[in-house]
Structure 1
């Protein structure tokens, strides 16, 4: 209440805002970028917050801009280079470091500025803020960034297991690189396009340089390390408020950036909520209830009040996270929360785990007798994506905790389900799966999903992961696979905080595709980006005391 009162007092004191439309801001190379400048009214010099966007600056100070204006901040919203009203050529992310520096420096020189600037933004604008921080403009004092991440390889293009984030990348490319007047390409046509290297033609009608470069660098090589914000942020760290979502594809990188800022000795606070790529907006299927959702924007205002205006005490450097299932908010001084113990649940079955009709189980001990689960994966009939951490068009590919029973009815999906819980089980941290696998293909994928099964049978996806077999030893280089050889692989499903309630069961789905969230492995062993041919793969997952395939959960003590 005290904070709300302070906001209302500030709004009354600053009076009517003043807007300067389409202000031209010169960059070091002479290109002019266009911005709208919103001033809170009254007299004096203001702290300023800057948003740099490729999606078009707003014509009215609505939403989050109003929150900052009411709190007494000047707000500058700028079209990035080559977008909307700004000059120059748009090159995804490459120009944001220098242009961010020049824009912050311009703000600091204005008569209405007190030379204390913060940057904020979700998604691309958040990435632009991270990039600007790398350039160390003297006036930039704090950041408030949401669903943005800090690594171009792992966030924007590839997964921790080396598979391409196909749906997200192709749709974003189509929406942002299609020439004016040309209809946006059909989504299904784009994701089915082969070879992948020329999917830019299907998506936009022309060559897109960033797409071709990504296709030419499928491993994490020097091309990607040179573009990584996370690798460099330790030398340019600023106080940062970071907002992430359990169903946002940038979650892991957001957590990584929070941890890096903390290790650099700077204040950092993180908010992780039960949303996707739109912080503060509840899931469209209404799965989560419980406590009211906090306002991520007001948390950012409070952050800037502490580090730009010094009118509030600095919020504690903690992680505030939503415990799904229990539907309650918790705080932890670290991530993962102290006390999380990695606890295995072992894959088992008597007759076979293929589909919901099988008898696959998750057990506390490895099976006494060795066994093997088999299925055939064909890229022409890939298992479809249903929910999960997708971005960013709900109508095309709905995200969130959707029911998996339709996918689980397929014979190329292995389904392992625990006994119904008698007591609540809380997990918080990184979920992993360790599988012992083989294939008759020279390269293939293995996928996993963690699912919460309700008493009525509804099977909600919590998170998922994928591993491309050629990257089983890491992303920096490929490791040839000999067909028929049994390999131990580890698949990261991602971070989570969730309570399995009494009467619910824990489920792990194992397959070889999750399309179009990830590209289909064509199973030939040749480069994915130029391949047109595809072949089926005979897959096997082994389970025994010697080959203990398992789901590994971060169980909180007492949970």
Structure 2
């Protein structure tokens, strides 16, 4: 979905908006230069620079480094007027966008999530931080009328390059905003969650979109892509079967995909690709931005901020989390996601009150940032922004809710000491879909979708509270703590936290969707059972033996209103979002279709609980 976001927002053709007032103003007031900036190892990176014609004052530089192309190439202008970036142009910023090393028109070899090298010794020791340093150095020395202050921002993969920019330590770099930054592709970003391959995103991105296709020389032509003939992704992915069949489609040329297939567990290969490893002694001010419902890089937002707090405490770092899908804060509408309404234009509030003032202060010396709190978080359910001096919030109390007999969810365990359980049969041939309906691509709305389709399945356990007598606000990470037993030797566990709306809730006024009894997905996460004790050393389950599976789910900022219910769903597949577990302790990346078997899974009452961060 990154390609759709970037192409729609940033690479819209100039001619389509020629009559637009902002586009006309931009073309009349800016000049464009295309330059190839030399790096320390001799590679030249293609860069488009848009410079204000105004010579009355010196201008700051705002840069984005991207693997998605700095198009249009040649005389055409980049469509900054298509979104709020035009506001920076009206402020007189020099706008810079660069094709990163090895992508599009830049020279060099492209490396997916290029590891940061903290110990560079020669000019051949290059990474994204050094490329940023060399680029900034060239810009401040060669672009006329700049004020010597540089900022870097970017969404998704450009967010990763923004993080790496912050590690460059160039003295002219004063402010950086990694937004939904790719950070750790094993634990929580696009490719994996807790070691589970996020098949739908990973295959579509690396193979379907062609992101990891090799590029022998600089070019303006897009990579070769792959498209399914079957437009139902559930059916299409199920027909392909085991992961080796996907690898056959990808071919031998996709190095990152091939590398993932030989690194199923957390090892050194993954660890050096964790962007957090280099976050130490960061100099520029940092603004970390992301969405509560970011299906791609929500993990990166929360955890880049936490790494700054822990590993670089002297850095002036701030966190903003809105009720957004991936990149929605840069879109024209932040008022809703799917059927869930947020009550205001949350994207515009963020742009005007946080991001633009942040860069204006650090790059132009304009205004103040005193009103920007350490953490500014939007709470869904109540639809309000809250400001905190820290995140996670110290005042949030870890409160368990227990899975009880009869589908009950209770804030205290039952008095019954007899071990009871619910069970279901998990069948890899009929996995639980991640959403309802037929879709070609992964939807962005699934993170707030109605879960009634899943609660009707026999392979999904459902537990809910009584109707709430008071509001319950959650602020922070959720912990799933299950006691389970299996009939075989491995299984995945998906836990979903759901807000059940009252039966008398009015229908959606736009599409008339029935909202009475709507089961809004608030947060969900998957855990591969073999990693319950160690992500580096997987362990088989002993059939029939009760075993704890405990894992941390991403942070939540949500208020369950009085009159609603809290629901928990537990299941063992989430397809094709996540790859299927054969439910035997085999190498999943090299499994055969015949390795996939049915399995009976028991989830024990009382000893299974979900720990909620309740804010009083």
Using structure 2 for the length normalisation, give the TM-score.
0.80
Of the three residues 317, 330, 335, the one matched with 1:268 is 317
Q: Secondary structure at the match of 2:150?
A: strand
Q: Matches of 1:15 and 1:85 in 2, distance apart?
A: 23
Q: Matches of 1:397 and 1:70 in 2, distance apart?
A: 32
Of the three residues 326, 338, 343, the one matched with 1:290 is 343
Q: Matches of 2:263 and 2:376 in 1, distance apart?
A: 36
**Structure 1 pair 96/14, CA: closer, same or farther in 2 (3 Å)?**
same
Q: Matches of 1:364 and 1:87 in 2, distance apart?
A: 59
**Structure 1 pair 407/293, CA: closer, same or farther in 2 (3 Å)?**
same
Q: Tell me if 1:309 matches 2:364.
A: yes
**Structure 1 pair 538/286, CA: closer, same or farther in 2 (3 Å)?**
closer
Q: Matches of 1:305 and 1:464 in 2, distance apart?
A: 37
Unaligned stretches of 5+ residues in structure 2: 1-24, 72-76, 115-126, 215-221, 503-515
Of the three residues 48, 56, 63, the one matched with 1:50 is 63
Aligned to 1:39: 51
Aligned to 1:108: 140
**Structure 1 pair 477/135, CA: closer, same or farther in 2 (3 Å)?**
farther
Q: Matches of 1:124 and 1:191 in 2, distance apart?
A: 29
Deviates more, 1:167-176 or 1:275-284: 275-284
**Structure 1 pair 512/155, CA: closer, same or farther in 2 (3 Å)?**
closer
Aligned to 1:355: none
**Structure 1 pair 27/284, CA: closer, same or farther in 2 (3 Å)?**
same
Aligned residues of 1:133 and 1:238 also touching (Cα < 8 A): yes
Aligned residues of 1:448 and 1:510 also touching (Cα < 8 A): yes
Aligned to 1:26: 38
Q: Matches of 1:15 and 1:275 in 2, distance apart?
A: 31
Aligned to 2:100: 80
Of the three residues 321, 324, 328, the one matched with 2:380 is 324
Q: Tell me if 1:379 matches 2:428.
A: yes
Aligned to 2:255: 209
**Structure 1 pair 241/553, CA: closer, same or farther in 2 (3 Å)?**
same
Aligned residues of 1:324 and 1:497 also touching (Cα < 8 A): yes
Spell out, residue by residue over 1:174-222, the C-alpha distance to the aligned partner (whole angstroms, 9 max, x if none).
21246858553225545754442562542x5553111111221122211
**Structure 1 pair 210/103, CA: closer, same or farther in 2 (3 Å)?**
same
Q: Matches of 1:423 and 1:181 in 2, distance apart?
A: 54
Spell out, residue by residue over 1:270-297, the C-alpha distance to the aligned partner (whole angstroms, 9 max, x if none).
1111111023243442412324314344
**Structure 1 pair 431/407, CA: closer, same or farther in 2 (3 Å)?**
same
Unaligned stretches of 5+ residues in structure 1: 1-12, 350-358
Q: Secondary structure at the match of 1:304?
A: helix
Of the three residues 561, 565, 569, the one matched with 1:501 is 561
Q: Tell me if 1:417 matches 2:456.
A: no
Of the three residues 91, 95, 104, the one matched with 2:111 is 91
**Structure 1 pair 104/399, CA: closer, same or farther in 2 (3 Å)?**
farther
Using structure 1 for the length normalisation, give the TM-score.
0.88
Q: Tell me if 1:336 matches 2:392.
A: yes
Aligned to 2:615: 556
Q: Matches of 1:17 and 1:475 in 2, distance apart?
A: 54
Of the three residues 280, 301, 305, the one matched with 1:234 is 280
Matches within 5 A, 1:176-195: 176-177=211-212, 182=224, 184-186=226-228, 187=233, 189=236, 193-195=240-242
**Structure 1 pair 317/423, CA: closer, same or farther in 2 (3 Å)?**
closer
**Structure 1 pair 393/304, CA: closer, same or farther in 2 (3 Å)?**
farther
**Structure 1 pair 26/297, CA: closer, same or farther in 2 (3 Å)?**
farther
Aligned to 2:6: none
Aligned residues of 1:16 and 1:40 also touching (Cα < 8 A): no
Aligned residues of 1:67 and 1:297 also touching (Cα < 8 A): no
Q: Matches of 2:456 and 2:132 in 1, distance apart?
A: 50
1:394 Cα shift? Answer: 6.4
Q: Tell me if 1:127 matches 2:127.
A: no
Q: Secondary structure at the match of 1:517?
A: coil
Q: Matches of 2:253 and 2:240 in 1, distance apart?
A: 14
Q: Secondary structure at the match of 1:130?
A: helix
Aligned to 1:253: 300
Q: Tell me if 1:468 matches 2:528.
A: yes
**Structure 1 pair 231/553, CA: closer, same or farther in 2 (3 Å)?**
same
Aligned residues of 1:15 and 1:41 also touching (Cα < 8 A): no
**Structure 1 pair 181/156, CA: closer, same or farther in 2 (3 Å)?**
closer
Aligned residues of 2:358 and 2:369 also touching (Cα < 8 A): yes
Aligned residues of 2:480 and 2:610 also touching (Cα < 8 A): yes
Q: Matches of 1:17 and 1:458 in 2, distance apart?
A: 50
Q: Tell me if 1:199 matches 2:253.
A: no
Number of equivalenced pairs: 528
1:26 Cα shift? Answer: 1.9
Q: Secondary structure at the match of 2:270?
A: helix
Instruction: Tell me the C-alpha RMSD between the 2 structures.
Output: 2.5
Q: Matches of 1:153 and 1:524 in 2, distance apart?
A: 21
**Structure 1 pair 305/30, CA: closer, same or farther in 2 (3 Å)?**
same
Aligned residues of 1:166 and 1:191 also touching (Cα < 8 A): no
Q: Matches of 2:306 and 2:612 in 1, distance apart?
A: 21
Aligned residues of 1:14 and 1:41 also touching (Cα < 8 A): no
Spell out, residue by residue over 1:286-320, the C-alpha distance to the aligned partner (whole angstroms, 9 max, x if none).
41232431434443221112222222223444211
Spell out, residue by residue over 1:161-183, the C-alpha distance to the aligned partner (whole angstroms, 9 max, x if none).
32112222111112124685855
Q: Secondary structure at the match of 1:153?
A: coil
1:370 Cα shift? Answer: 2.5
Aligned residues of 2:323 and 2:342 also touching (Cα < 8 A): no
Q: Secondary structure at the match of 1:137?
A: coil
